[in-house]
Homo-oligomer: A and B are copies of this chain.
């Protein structure tokens, strides 16, 4: 089959990421053409803000504000969606697929919420939908999971997939900063948005984990099935205790499979300070995958930013161009495994760190440990420092052996009502 002279691209969204992709497409056309087997031609750009063509040197004539003009253009082979957000990105992608256009996207929200519908549309119209950039920026992840690790049964994923929170946690750990100060720093440097909710509450990480879990376990897992909890509750003293106990604190996206039961959750975690994930600092991402054959594999790199993201987007474009040129029929594979369900958070079992303020008097620890014992929660270690004599309040830190989440929640509620307990200051799950 002869290679096509050119592959024509319709780009939707010329923001930071879209601009990055345009820079790559126009910056090294010969390299890309050599790899793709065809010239990659930017045919249409859907963008309201016409001023954007100036800085990027895009020909004004290819700008449009009409999605129909883009999707109905018979010359366009491939639509690149970089608008972000759920709507109208989802509808536009679906429309593009049903018009027989291949689609490349970096949109984690749409992919995590509408994975099956979009993949089905792609299959039905014999086109390809690629979304490597939706998780981990430029780090190869989706393709390795779907292609290179395909002989494995994946049993677990432990992932740092949100650079904003990892940056904040790194500053808190290294400089003893409080959360609010570290967040402001991150905002000042452009690592956190003015409205940081999606990042700091673990929503962004939950989108990404839903995608990874769906691929790894062959079962569609939606974001609403992923438990998520953010980092705003963490305090400088939690980091001090963590260090004392030999741990680092990271916001991890965790997925595990045992038989047909899947765990999928995002929350702060104590992890051993000598583990490799504990060494992942700043805005970097790292994804640890456990397979029955391969053992533990880690993928590490920049999880965001226009350059890293465009590495994934443009590689996806090139793969589609190669498939077009090689005449490969390209029905995407949908999940095969059925009957697998996400375990309710209440049923997970893990270890816990608990920090509480108590009255400095005899028998306090006995009362607390009685409650924990009643809920089959076994203590592995306790730290109690000398009390501040002025307040007569002591701080106790308890590390438990593995226990069931709902038992821990009940025990914490009961402990809180003990007269001698002033406050349950924090609790954090622990992964060994």
Q: Which residues of A contact B (CB under 8 A)?
A: 1, 24, 28, 31-32, 34-35, 132, 137-140, 143-144, 147-153, 276, 279-280, 291-302, 307-308, 310-312, 314-315, 318-319, 323, 326-330, 336
5 new A-B pairs (CB below 8 Å) besides A143-B144, A294-B301?
Answer: A293-B311, A293-B314, A294-B311, A298-B299, A298-B300
Please name the residue on chain B nearest to A296 by beta carbon.
Answer: B301
Q: Which residues of B contact A153 (CB under 8 A)?
A: 28, 31
Answer whether A144 and B148 are a contact pair too, CB < 8 Å, given A329-B326, A330-B326.
yes
In order of increasing CB-CB distance, the 6 nearest A-B pairs are A140-B148, A151-B314, A293-B311, A138-B294, A297-B301, A328-B328
Q: Which residues of B contact A314 (CB under 8 A)?
A: 151, 293
Q: Which residues of B contact A301 (CB under 8 A)?
A: 294-298
Taken together as a complex, chains A and B put the C-alpha atoms of A32 and B149 apart, in Å, by: 12
Taken together as a complex, chains A and B put the C-alpha atoms of A300 and B279 apart, in Å, by: 14
A299 with B299: CB separation less than 8 A? yes
A300 with B300: CB separation less than 8 A? yes
Please name the residue on chain B nearest to A139 by beta carbon.
Answer: B297
| Nearest Cβ on chain B to A35's Cβ, whole angstroms | 5
Please name the residue on chain B nearest to A276 by beta carbon.
Answer: B279
Please name the residue on chain B nearest to A141 by beta carbon.
Answer: B148
Determine which of B132, B147, B151 lies in contact with A143 in the assembled complex, contact meaning CB atoms within 8 Å: B147
B326 with A307: CB separation less than 8 A? no
Q: Which residues of B contact A24 (CB under 8 A)?
A: 151, 293
Determine which of B28, B292, B310, B329 lies in contact with A327 in the assembled complex, contact meaning CB atoms within 8 Å: B329
| Nearest Cβ on chain B to A311's Cβ, whole angstroms | 4
| Nearest Cβ on chain B to A145's Cβ, whole angstroms | 9
B276 with A295: CB separation less than 8 A? no
A312 with B276: CB separation less than 8 A? no
Please name the residue on chain B nearest to A312 by beta carbon.
Answer: B148
| Nearest Cβ on chain B to A409's Cβ, whole angstroms | 35
| Nearest Cβ on chain B to A186's Cβ, whole angstroms | 19
| Nearest Cβ on chain B to A330's Cβ, whole angstroms | 7
Can you spell out 11 A-B residue pairs with CB atoms less than 8 angstroms apart?
A34-B336, A138-B149, A138-B294, A139-B297, A140-B140, A143-B143, A149-B311, A276-B280, A293-B311, A298-B298, A326-B330
A297 with B295: CB separation less than 8 A? no
Q: Which residues of B contact A31 (CB under 8 A)?
A: 151, 153
Answer whether A291 and B311 are a contact pair too, CB < 8 Å, given A144-B148, A147-B143, A329-B327.
yes
Q: Which residues of B contact A302 (CB under 8 A)?
A: 294-297
Determine which of B132, B276, B297 lies in contact with A148 in the assembled complex, contact meaning CB atoms within 8 Å: B132
Answer whether A151 and B35 are a contact pair too, CB < 8 Å, given A140-B140, A326-B330, A327-B327.
yes
Taken together as a complex, chains A and B put the C-alpha atoms of A177 and B299 apart, in Å, by: 31
Taken together as a complex, chains A and B put the C-alpha atoms of A329 and B37 apart, in Å, by: 13
Taken together as a complex, chains A and B put the C-alpha atoms of A115 and B215 apart, in Å, by: 33
Among A291, A300, A336, max chain B CB count under 10 A is at A300
Taken together as a complex, chains A and B put the C-alpha atoms of A65 and B318 apart, in Å, by: 44
Determine which of B150, B295, B300, B328 lies in contact with A326 in the assembled complex, contact meaning CB atoms within 8 Å: B328
Taken together as a complex, chains A and B put the C-alpha atoms of A40 and B228 apart, in Å, by: 41
Taken together as a complex, chains A and B put the C-alpha atoms of A348 and B330 apart, in Å, by: 46
Taken together as a complex, chains A and B put the C-alpha atoms of A149 and B311 apart, in Å, by: 7
| Nearest Cβ on chain B to A400's Cβ, whole angstroms | 28
A150 with B295: CB separation less than 8 A? no
Taken together as a complex, chains A and B put the C-alpha atoms of A380 and B214 apart, in Å, by: 52
Taken together as a complex, chains A and B put the C-alpha atoms of A319 and B333 apart, in Å, by: 13
Q: Which residues of B contact A307 (CB under 8 A)?
A: 292-295
A300 with B276: CB separation less than 8 A? yes
Taken together as a complex, chains A and B put the C-alpha atoms of A148 and B301 apart, in Å, by: 13
| Nearest Cβ on chain B to A39's Cβ, whole angstroms | 15
